Structure 1
């Protein structure tokens, strides 16, 4: 019988001192509206998994989908403006 063991380096690869950098935290903060909109869309879709979506569910999904698209557009525009300023 073979024993399955984990590789020590793989288990301890994420040590406490490997914190995200300020740049990474800023990127996460910029993307947070998109992340939240995606979670809202996913929640709306999960609600309809065990039943046929009614009109209210369909509206909720459409509204959440529009929020995702708006957040993507805002993020793309902000990224374009930021990239244009530094050029």
Structure 2
């Protein structure tokens, strides 16, 4: 029986530097409020997975959804303002 195996260097070659670029880090910083709001919503939803949500859970989820929408609106407005002023083009 003959074994067939790919050599790792033959398949992937040498990996480039996989650190994020400064532009990618700036983009993450800009999106961080939205990311945190989505994590908060996910946490609120996870709490209710194994039981039916009570009034406090319902309020927490509703507040987290509003925070996500608020963060999305702010991010959209910020990117629209940057796009129309020519900054970053």
TM-score range, shorter chain: 0.7 to 0.9
Give the total of aligned pairs. 85
Where does residue 64 of structure 2 map in the other structure?
A: 64
TM-score by length of 2: 0.81
Q: Which protein has the larger Cα radius of gyration, Structure 1 or Structure 2?
A: 2
Unaligned runs of 5+ in 2: none
Where does residue 46 of structure 1 map in the other structure?
A: 46
RMSD: 2.6
Give me the whole-angstrom Cα distance separating, in 2, the residues matched to 1:2 and 1:29.
52
Give me the whole-angstrom Cα distance separating, in 1, the residues matched to 2:76 and 2:46.
27
Q: CA deviation at 1:19?
A: 1.3
Unaligned runs of 5+ in 1: none
